[in-house]
């Protein structure tokens, strides 16, 4: 696969501040997609702050993003993580808005969200909010960059949050391996640094040196946060003139201290960091090979796009490609290629290969084949037809780009503003428009054996390493691999037929829009038979040549036991595996497809350009109809799934809590260890026996939406039925109505608190976690809106109290939960500070505090929250995926309330504050008469003694400890299902 990072992740050579001001009044025409009706205007304020204003009369949300051209590369020596820590601190308070958390509270109360991130050379802050609140939101946001307050108390508390964030990453292989790559670079280059920071770097070490962290923080802010180093993107419903007036008034007071743009010339790798083989021990099972080369950054030639061309070929998965050969040999599970970490001054090209156990034994051959393929590319010229194909695909992708959420949009643009000239802020490097064989050849010529770094990760290296990376504790060793050795690997590699890809048959040629007479707002049932049901929704909003298809294959046998579940999983993965050689081109050309197992069988999804949809769908259905088990691929897929199960214990503790909650609540789910045991005994012949039995009872629920006519949708489904059910060789038979599957949820008992304590599966993980679930009701109009409103009102206070004030952990949140229409609230906290039982007590303490807040809430604040929720419900879908996700949810759950949002808005408009208080008092508050609680408690390594105590202590009054999940599940009543038999729904 061609794997490129988004442009958002990299800075470039900035323009001179004076030059930028000189062009402030010059009209710049920003290149935009041909179907984009939004207005754009570039403005430079007197303080040299560069802005892009975006006016979208159709938007339901406003948004803004401020990109600051300062990142962790600027961290002072000995204070690693200071830039990241400053990003955290700016959210607390400002001189104009001194009440702690008032910014985040305002955003949450007005239907929005906010966040930030820090990279090597920039820090990006962003938010979205309901349209009519943009003025006040921008005013609060601007204070981040004008006069923030960084109180000593808040500073100390937030260091704990940064430390908790780092604790979350300590046992994460992506973080560990990224830092190892940085560690094995020149320590004179900032790339070598540790970016996140922790308690040691931000509190202990500074104190030892007599430094005051808060003073250093303020000094860093005053020195580095200068208006001429900032880029602002603002997105709103108002006219460009009005947005400009708003921006000029809010952001003109940001100081311009004349700080020059930071530059970090030179490459992180010196000659001693090349021609090395690094063997590293990961946390998870598996073998990964990362081959990296320092190269000329693509951004210097972004119009030519040489890296896009090269990564397209090295990452290709079709016949003759490197991955095709490695897969055929049984050596690789996946391959990704593309430009990785980069800036204007340096860049890495990487090829990342997930190896099988056999592939691990043939590492040298794998590297040899890679270099043989690179040699083929270096010597075969640069065919223009490949560039032309890429250009056609990229241009379509740009001009028919789906609308994204405004917050995502402004983040990408503000990040691009640091890198590209104004006319290219939208298009960036997404469309390489100039064919330059020389630029492509230059990149290829840098991918040499003299220039390479190889990182090889496997648990098999445990006990065979002699070095430790200091920040994450990764064990590794380093060996020299001179070009002469690698040349032997090339010579000894198998002589396989590597060749360039064939022309892509999936590139759309017909991008016309269908003329559908029936302009319906909701899906309608077009067709129903004993074999299938077809729902249809034409595109009445987006006017793009795209289609969305979901097909649920309901097969009762598919998930009837752990063995059946594993069989179904292997079947879908093999199906995708068989399709890959042919259908990889479809994904490259913008037609995404997937076959995945689900609760009631398996699901086929297809979304993208409609032109070649029929070709791809026919192929997928044909593979299902003529499925055969290939023993060699079965072995590889079985190995992949086995490693996935073995790595389950390395999931974050909060993920383990979520898993256990689902296992307790959902009637027919199987534990991972039983599925692993079933998998270990599975042979190819077992799948051959199972598949016809599974498909012998099948019903297909179909949803077709977008640029497709109803007659075409009917024709496609009829054709599918003909292949799967009505031919002489069909294995599929219809599913009787009595056997249609329902997904049912455990009903907890009111007035009782159930708790399930368990040790974290990875005892090396010091983090503990709590999931405190309050089950409330099954899908009901009035109670739905009361629950949603309560979540809106309580979300930010919960985050502020549990995360910011008490500093229980980096992950501390309140959110709604919906299990097949059974709804409730859940608190999720991950912590090293307190054990899960104590975290449970802190949730109860918060609810007592919040009870007072809710009862004393002013009427105006209540109304503001109601209006925020109404505005969120009125938000229009941005693309066919979003719209289809909602309608498909109604179909798959059997509720069929396609007008759900409209009826909920009507209910909200009538809602009274007293009703919300009564709902809280009855269902949520401590001691509420209708309250039903399930507390999932995962005890990390730091809290093992507390675990021993809780399992030996008698349960407190009105509490019940779950000791056996499945005995408990069998003993409880279940909520009724909305889903009936074929064509019969309970509404």
Domain total of the chain: 4
Number of alpha carbons in the 13 Å side-chain half-sphere of residue 978: 17
pLDDT over 90 at 984, yes or no: no
**346, 181 in Cβ contact below 8 A?**
no
Name the more confident of 978 and 248: 248
Does the pLDDT value for residue 983 go beyond 80?
Answer: no
CATH of the domain at 757: 3.30.830.10
Residue 43 phi/psi, 5° resolution? -135, 140
Q: Which of 713, 739, 765 is the last residue in one of the domains?
A: 739
- Confidence category of residue 728, pLDDT binned at 50, 70, 90: confident
**What dihedral angle (degrees, nearest 10) is formed by the CA atoms of 339, 343, 348, 349?**
20
pLDDT band at 3, cuts 50/70/90? low
Residue 12 has pLDDT above 70, yes or no: no
What pLDDT, on a 0 to 100 scale, did the predictor assign at position 10? 28
pLDDT digits (tens, 9 = 90+) for 541-596: 999 999 999 999 999 999 999 999 999 999 999 999 999 999 999 999 999 999 99
- pLDDT of 401 reads 94
Write out the DSSP string of 30-89. Answer: ----TT---EEEEEE-TT--EEEEEE-TT-SEEEEEEEES--GGGPPTT-TTHHHHHHHH
* Domain identity same for 703 and 749: no
Asked if 230 and 324 sit in the same domain, the reply is: no
pLDDT at residue number 519: 76
Residue 87 annotated as catalytic: yes
Indicate if 361 and 241 belong to the same structural domain.
no
Query: Would you say residue 985 has pLDDT above 60?
Result: no
Q: Evaluate whether residue 7 is within a structural domain.
A: no
Let me know whether 423 and 550 are in one domain: no
| Structure confidence at residue 727 (pLDDT) | 85
Nearest to 338 by CA among 443, 452, 182: 443
For 773-809, write each residue's pLDDT tens digit: 999 999 999 999 999 999 999 999 999 999 999 999 9
Query: What pLDDT was estimated at residue 121?
Result: 96
β-bridge pairing 123-130 and 113-118: antiparallel
Q: Which residue has the higher pLDDT, 29 or 444?
A: 444
Q: How does residue 1 score in pLDDT terms, banded at 50, 70 and 90?
A: confident
Give the model's pLDDT for residue 8: 27
In a domain, 649, yes or no: yes
* DSSP states of 422-455: GGGTTTTTSS--S--HHHHHHHHHHS-GGG-EEE
Cα angle at 241 between 237 and 246, to 5 degrees? 75
Same domain, 85 and 187: yes
Q: How many CB atoms sit inside 10 A of residue 219's CB?
A: 13
Q: What is the pLDDT of residue 613?
A: 97
Cα 949 to chain centroid distance, Å, stands at 38
Q: Say if residues 881 and 607 touch (Cβ distance below 8 Å).
A: yes
Nearby residues of 986 by Cβ (< 8 Å), 6 or more positions away? 894, 976, 977, 978, 979, 980
Domain-embedded: residue 162? yes
Active site residue 158: yes
Whole-angstrom Cα distance, residue 888 to residue 875?
18
Q: Of 709, 739, 769, which residue sits at a domain end?
A: 739
Decide if pLDDT at 630 tops 90. Answer: yes
From the list 50, 80, 87, 109, the catalytic residue is: 87
Residue 264 inside a domain? The answer is no
pLDDT of residue 288: 98
Which pLDDT tens digit goes with each residue over 409-432? 999 999 999 999 999 999 999 999
Q: Is residue 695 part of a domain?
A: yes
Query: What would the two tokens of residue 724 be?
Result: 């799967």
Rounded Cα–Cα distance for residues 745 and 743 (Å): 7
Mean pLDDT of 478-506: 97
pLDDT over 70 percentage in the chain = 97
Determine the Cα–Cα distance for residues 813 and 829; give it in Å rounded to an integer.
7
Give percent above pLDDT 90 in the chain: 94
Give the active site residue among 7, 80, 158, 563.
158
Q: Is residue 12 part of a domain?
A: no
Shared domain for 312 and 386, answered yes or no, is: yes
Residue 961, pLDDT > 60, answer yes
For residue 809, tell me if it sits in a domain.
yes
Residues 6+ apart with CB under 8 A from 383: 500
Q: Does 437 share its domain with 315?
A: yes
With a cut of 90, say whether residue 839 has pLDDT above it: yes
**The predicted structure's pLDDT at residue 939:** 98
First-last CA distance in the chain: 44
In this predicted model, what pLDDT tens digit does every residue of 332-349 receive, in sequence order? 999 999 998 889 999 999
| 502 lies in some domain | no
Residues of the domain holding 587: 524-739
Residues 297 and 154 in one domain: no
How confident is residue 740, by pLDDT bands cut at 50, 70 and 90? confident
């Amino acid at each position: 696969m061609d794997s490129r990072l988004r442009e958002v992740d990299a800075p470039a050579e900035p323009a001179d501040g004076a030059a930028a001001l000189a062009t402030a009044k010059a009209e710049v025409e920003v290149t935009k997609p041909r179907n984009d009706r939004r207005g754009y205007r570039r403005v430079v304020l007197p303080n040299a702050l560069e802005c892009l204003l975006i006016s979208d009369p159709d938007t339901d949300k406003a948004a803004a993003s401020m990109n600051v051209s300062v990142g962790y590369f600027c961290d002072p020596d000995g204070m690693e993580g200071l830039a990241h820590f400053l990003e955290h601190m700016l959210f607390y308070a400002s001189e104009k808005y001194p009440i702690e958390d008032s910014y985040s509270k305002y955003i949450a109360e007005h239907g929005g969200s906010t966040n930030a991130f820090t990279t090597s050379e920039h820090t990006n802050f962003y938010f979205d909010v309901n349209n009519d609140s943009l003025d006040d939101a921008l005013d609060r946001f601007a204070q981040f960059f004008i006069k923030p307050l960084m109180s000593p108390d808040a500073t100390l508390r937030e260091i704990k949050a940064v430390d908790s964030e780092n604790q979350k990453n300590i046992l994460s292989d992506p973080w560990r391996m990224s830092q190892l790559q940085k560690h094995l670079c020149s320590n004179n280059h900032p790339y070598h640094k540790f970016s996140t920071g922790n308690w040691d770097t931000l509190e202990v070490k500074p104190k030892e040196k007599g430094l005051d962290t808060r003073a250093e923080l303020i000094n860093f802010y005053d020195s580095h946060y200068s208006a001429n180093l900032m880029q602002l993107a603002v997105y709103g419903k108002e006219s460009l003139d009005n947005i400009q007036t708003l921006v000029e008034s809010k952001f003109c007071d940001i100081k311009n201290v004349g700080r020059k743009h930071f530059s970090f010339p030179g490459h992180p790798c010196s000659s001693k960091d090349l021609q090395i083989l690094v063997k590293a021990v990961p946390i998870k099972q598996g073998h990964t090979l990362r081959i990296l080369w320092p190269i000329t950054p693509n951004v210097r030639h972004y119009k030519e796009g040489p890296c896009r061309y090269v990564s397209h070929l090295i990452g290709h998965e079709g016949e003759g490609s490197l991955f095709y050969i490695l897969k055929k040999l049984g050596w690789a599970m996946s391959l990704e290629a593309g430009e990785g970490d980069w800036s204007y001054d340096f860049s890495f090209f990487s090829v990342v290969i997930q190896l099988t156990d056999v592939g691990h034994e043939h590492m040298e051959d794998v590297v040899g084949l890679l270099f043989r393929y690179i040699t083929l590319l270096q010597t075969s010229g640069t065919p223009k037809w490949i560039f032309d194909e890429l250009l056609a695909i990229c241009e379509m992708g740009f001009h028919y780009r789906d609308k994204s959420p405004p917050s995502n949009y402004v983040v990408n643009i503000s990040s691009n503003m640091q890198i590209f000239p104004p006319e290219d802020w939208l298009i960036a490097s997404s469309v390489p428009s100039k064919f330059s064989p020389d630029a492509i050849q230059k990149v290829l010529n840098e991918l040499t054996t003299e220039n390479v770094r190889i990182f090889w990760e496997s648990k098999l290296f445990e006990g065979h390493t002699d070095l430790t990376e200091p920040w994450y504790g990764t064990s590794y060793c380093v060996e020299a691999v001179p070009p002469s050795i690698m040349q032997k690997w090339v010579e000894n590699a198998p002589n396989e037929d590597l060749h360039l890809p064939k022309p892509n048959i999936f590139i759309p040629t017909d991008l016309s829009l269908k003329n559908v007479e029936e302009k319906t707002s909701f899906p309608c049932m077009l067709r129903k038979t004993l074999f299938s049901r077809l729902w249809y929704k034409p595109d009445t909003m987006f006017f793009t040549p795209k289609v969305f298809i979901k097909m649920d294959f309901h097969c009762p046998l598919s998930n009837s036991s752990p063995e059946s579940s594993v069989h179904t999983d292997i079947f879908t993965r093999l199906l995708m595996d068989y399709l890959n050689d042919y259908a990889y081109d479809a994904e490259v050309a913008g037609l995404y497809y997937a076959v995945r197992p689900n609760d009631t069988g398996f699901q086929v999804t297809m979304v993208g350009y409609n032109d070649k949809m029929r070709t791809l769908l026919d192929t997928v259905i044909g593979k299902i109809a003529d499925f055969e088990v290939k023993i060699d691929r079965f072995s590889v897929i079985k190995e992949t799934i086995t490693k996935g199960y073995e790595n389950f214990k390395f999931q974050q503790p909060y993920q383990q809590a979520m898993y256990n909650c689902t296992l307790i609540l959902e009637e027919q789910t199987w534990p991972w260890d039983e599925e692993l045991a079933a998998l270990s005994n599975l042979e190819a012949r077992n799948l051959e026996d199972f598949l016809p039995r599974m498909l012998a009872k099948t019903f297909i629920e179909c949803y077709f939406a977008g640029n497709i006519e109803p007659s075409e949708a009917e024709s496609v489904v009829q054709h599918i039925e003909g292949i799967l059910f009505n031919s002489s060789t069909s294995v599929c038979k219809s599913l009787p109505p009595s056997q249609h599957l329902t997904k049912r949820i455990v009903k907890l008992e009111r007035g009782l608190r159930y708790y399930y304590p368990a040790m974290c599966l990875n005892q090396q993980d010091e983090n503990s976690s709590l999931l405190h679930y309050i089950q409330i009701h099954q899908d009901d109009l009035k109670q739905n809106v009361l629950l949603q409103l309560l979540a809106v009102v309580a979300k930010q206070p919960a985050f502020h109290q549990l995360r910011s004030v008490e500093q229980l952990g980096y992950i501390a949140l309140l959110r709604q939960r919906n299990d097949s229409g059974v709804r409730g609230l859940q608190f999720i906290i991950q912590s090293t500070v307190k054990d899960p039982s104590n975290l449970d007590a802190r949730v109860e303490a918060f609810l007592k505090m919040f009870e007072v807040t809710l009862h004393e809430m002013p009427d105006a604040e209540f109304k503001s929250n109601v209006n925020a929720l109404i505005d969120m419900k009125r938000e229009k879908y941005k693309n066919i995926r979003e719209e289809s996700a909602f309608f498909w949810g109604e179909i798959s759950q059997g509720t069929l309330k396609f007008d759900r949002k409209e009826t909920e808005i009507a209910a909200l408009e009538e809602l009274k504050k007293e009703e919300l208080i009564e709902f809280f008092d009855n269902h949520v508050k401590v001691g509420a008469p209708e309250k039903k609680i399930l507390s999932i408690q995962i005890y990390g390594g730091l809290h093992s003694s507390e675990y021993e105590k809780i399992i030996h202590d008698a349960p407190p009054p009105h509490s019940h400890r779950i000791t056996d999940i499945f005995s408990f599940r069998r003993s409880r009543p279940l909520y009724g299902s909305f889903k009936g038999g074929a064509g019969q729904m309970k509404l």
